């Protein structure tokens, strides 16, 4: 209903690894791991791989890994299925959240922090795994005026780390 309200009249629901075509564009749904809502949580979000004009891009959205799987495995499978991927759109925010925040239990004795989204090292590793020449980083949340929205300066540090890793 929301898609129809937004003016879309043709849409398909894809399962992970299914492919569809829209004109000259090939879109392959790939699994999403990350942004955990707690231990063993499961969601039906997707990442995707798009091919157009002889180029292929992997769009990793806000992914990373969770108790269901790792985006490293997705990158490996893409490489096996398609060979080299030309570019990767990847988050570089490297957000971590306290697991206890999602458990709704007064005391949680498991690991203290879970990685919520990928960071610079993850993004560079995925590019390397698929042989990409292009990395488009996003989700860094550093505003143009130079302020870092996180008091500890984590986002500015992530951008600097990315600059060091990517040549």
pLDDT at 35 over 80: no
Whether residue 102 contacts residue 36, with contact meaning beta carbons closer than 8 Å, is answered with yes
Residue with more model confidence, 103 or 20:
20
Q: What is the pLDDT of residues 77-134, one digit of tens each?
A: 999 999 999 999 998 887 666 665 555 555 555 556 667 788 889 999 999 999 999 9
pTM value is 0.77
The confidence score (pLDDT) of residue 133 equals: 92
Phi (first) and psi of residue 6, to 5 degrees: -80, 0
Could you tell me the CA-to-CA distances from 9 to 22, 36, 48, 66 in Å, in that order? 13, 31, 21, 34
Pairing between β-strand 134-138 and β-strand 46-52 as defined by DSSP bridges? unpaired
Please state which of the ranges 81-90, 132-141, 156-165 shows the lowest mean pLDDT. 156-165
User: Cα–Cα distance between 92 and 144 in angstroms, integer?
Assistant: 17
- Read off the tokens for 22: 């829209």
Provide the pLDDT confidence category of residue 18 given band limits of 50, 70 and 90: very high
Provide the pLDDT confidence category of residue 155 given band limits of 50, 70 and 90: low
| Cα dihedral: 106, 111, 114, 120 (round 10) | 150
User: Cα–Cα distance between 109 and 91 in angstroms, integer?
Assistant: 29
CA angle, residues 88, 91, 94, in degrees to nearest 5: 140
The confidence score (pLDDT) of residue 110 equals: 56
The confidence score (pLDDT) of residue 163 equals: 75
Q: Where are the alpha helices (DSSP H) in 38-99?
A: 71-82
């Amino acid at each position: 209903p929301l898609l129809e309200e937004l003016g879309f009249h043709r849409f398909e629901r894809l399962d992970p690894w299914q492919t569809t075509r829209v004109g000259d564009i090939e879109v392959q749904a790939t699994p999403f791991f990350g942004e955990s809502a707690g231990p063993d949580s499961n969601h039906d979000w997707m990442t995707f791989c798009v091919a157009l004009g002889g180029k292929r891009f992997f769009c990793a959205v806000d992914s990373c890994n969770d108790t269901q799987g790792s985006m490293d495995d997705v990158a490996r499978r893409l490489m096996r299925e398609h060979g080299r991927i030309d570019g990767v759109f990847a988050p570089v925010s490297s957000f971590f959240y306290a697991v206890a925040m999602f458990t709704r239990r007064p005391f949680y004795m498991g690991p203290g922090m879970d990685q919520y989204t990928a960071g610079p090292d993850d993004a560079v590793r995925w590019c390397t795994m698929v042989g990409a020449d292009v990395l488009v980083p996003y989700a860094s949340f550093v505003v143009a005026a130079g302020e870092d929205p996180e008091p500890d300066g984590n986002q500015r540090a992530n951008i600097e780390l990315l600059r060091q890793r990517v040549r």
